[in-house]
Structures are given as structure tokens and as C-alpha cells.
Amino acid sequence: MADTPTKVIVDCSTGITEVLPLTAAEIADLETARLAAEDQRVAAEAEAAARAEARAELLDRLGITEEEVQLLLG
């Protein structure tokens, strides 16, 4: 059985620290944020892959290698 996620609350004026379980709403918010971050990661990876594929296709059409591009731009 998994442990309930917790949060730590520190009262800086008194130095008292409390460890409290997260509410169902807080857990739902965390899951929503996790899913959004995963969606962003997947989209960024897909965009990077598409850019790399487009670059490779362009280099192939031009008949030059990545090294030759670096020499031209360097």
C-alpha cells in the first residue's frame, strides 16, 4: 500500500515544523500538473525529432553532410 503524499509547513516565526497529509484536491492538482508536464515533454521531443528529420532531409537534398554545414557556418 502506497503512503499518502505529505507536505511540510514551517512557521518561521516559531520554528515549528508540521508534516501534513495532502488533501484529495492537492493530490489531484499534483497529478494534473504532472500530466501537463509530461504532455509538454512529449511535445518538445516530437518537435525536436521533426526538426532533426527536416534538417536531415534538407542536407540530403543539398547533398552535403553535417560536417560540411559546420565548415560553411563556422
The residue ranges of every structural domain in the chain are 6-73
Count of beta carbons in the 10 Å neighbourhood of residue 27: 13
Take residue 27 and report the three cell numbers written for it.
493530490
Asked if the model's pLDDT at residue 71 lies above 60, the reply is yes
- Yes or no: say if 23 and 4 are a contact pair by the CB < 8 Å rule: no
Number of alpha carbons in the 13 Å side-chain half-sphere of residue 13: 0
Q: Strand pairing partners for 7?
A: 20
pLDDT per position as a tens digit, 8-66: 999 999 999 999 999 999 999 999 999 999 999 999 999 999 999 999 999 999 999 99
pLDDT at residue 1 greater than cutoff 60? no
